[in-house]
Amino acid sequence: MGHVASYFLSLGFETTIHTTDIQIFDRSYKDKSNDELIQSLLLRRKYIKHSGYDDQAMDVIFDGYTSFLANGGKIVFPIIDADYLCRLLESGPIFAVVSYNFLNDSPKNKYDELKLDYVPDASVGNPATHAVIINGVKGEQFHIVDPDKKYGGNRWISSSLLIASLYLAETDYDNLLISLKK
């Protein structure tokens, strides 16, 4: 996701990643400068593994975050709740990475090489993350724009479902929000 955030930087947006990830990052990183965060990430990269990603993929992930920081992006480590999301929405829509399975109450999937598509499989399948745009709030409901062909579209979801889906994206080291300011 660091590369996505870097793209927003290249378009001239002031870009902030808001993450609760504790696999790649650490809560002790809260007060570090960008240079200190880069050094912490380079050290962390030596020790982190992921069950679904090889070393090359992990290098790309870490490169995204370090490039983002080196180019002036900002990473913050908040407690994300409904109030926090409402404050972010005051500045515009939010790019959010969430647990696809939890958000949509759907089973894990595995890739079927014959069908060239993902198929439900609660035993062998893996959980997945998914990006949505949060662009509104009304009471306890948040409006999301979801590009998924099965569950997507414009829809209102409860704040508790959205926040739980965000935190559960930790399985793929992707639980984060990206906010933009022009």
Query: DSSP letters along 127-161, please?
Result: --EEEEEEEEEETTEEEEEE--TTT-EEEEEEHHH
CA 73 to chain centre: 15
The residue from 24, 49, 76 where one domain ends is: 76
How many domains in the chain?
2
> If you count DSSP H runs as helices and E runs as strands, how many of each does the chain have, helices first?
6, 9
Judgement on whether residues 49 and 11 belong to the same structural domain of the protein:
yes
Please tell me the distance from the alpha carbon of residue 119 to that of residue 109, in angstroms, as a whole number: 5
How many residues are present in the chain?
182
Judgement on whether residues 47 and 107 belong to the same structural domain of the protein:
no
The answer for residues whose C-beta is within 8 angstroms of residue 176's C-beta and 6 or more apart is 1, 17, 18, 19, 20, 21, 96, 97, 169
Strand-pair category, 74-76 with 14-19: parallel
Return the closest-CA partner of residue 174 out of 86, 12, 52.
52
In-domain check, residue 35 = yes
Question: So what's the pLDDT on residue 54?
Answer: 85
Question: So what's the pLDDT on residue 11?
Answer: 94
Question: So what's the pLDDT on residue 174?
Answer: 78
In-domain check, residue 49 = yes
Judgement on whether residues 69 and 106 belong to the same structural domain of the protein:
no
In-domain check, residue 7 = yes
Judgement on whether residues 71 and 103 belong to the same structural domain of the protein:
no
Judgement on whether residues 69 and 111 belong to the same structural domain of the protein:
no
Residues of the chain with pLDDT under 70: none
In-domain check, residue 178 = no
The residue from 43, 76, 109 where one domain ends is: 76
In-domain check, residue 177 = no
Judgement on whether residues 46 and 111 belong to the same structural domain of the protein:
no
Question: So what's the pLDDT on residue 182?
Answer: 78
Question: So what's the pLDDT on residue 49?
Answer: 85
Judgement on whether residues 104 and 34 belong to the same structural domain of the protein:
no
Domain around 134: 94-172
In-domain check, residue 84 = no
Amino acid at 144: I
Look at residue 112 and give its three-state secondary structure: strand
Question: So what's the pLDDT on residue 155?
Answer: 96
Judgement on whether residues 118 and 160 belong to the same structural domain of the protein:
yes
Judgement on whether residues 105 and 149 belong to the same structural domain of the protein:
yes
Judgement on whether residues 50 and 18 belong to the same structural domain of the protein:
yes
Judgement on whether residues 101 and 54 belong to the same structural domain of the protein:
no
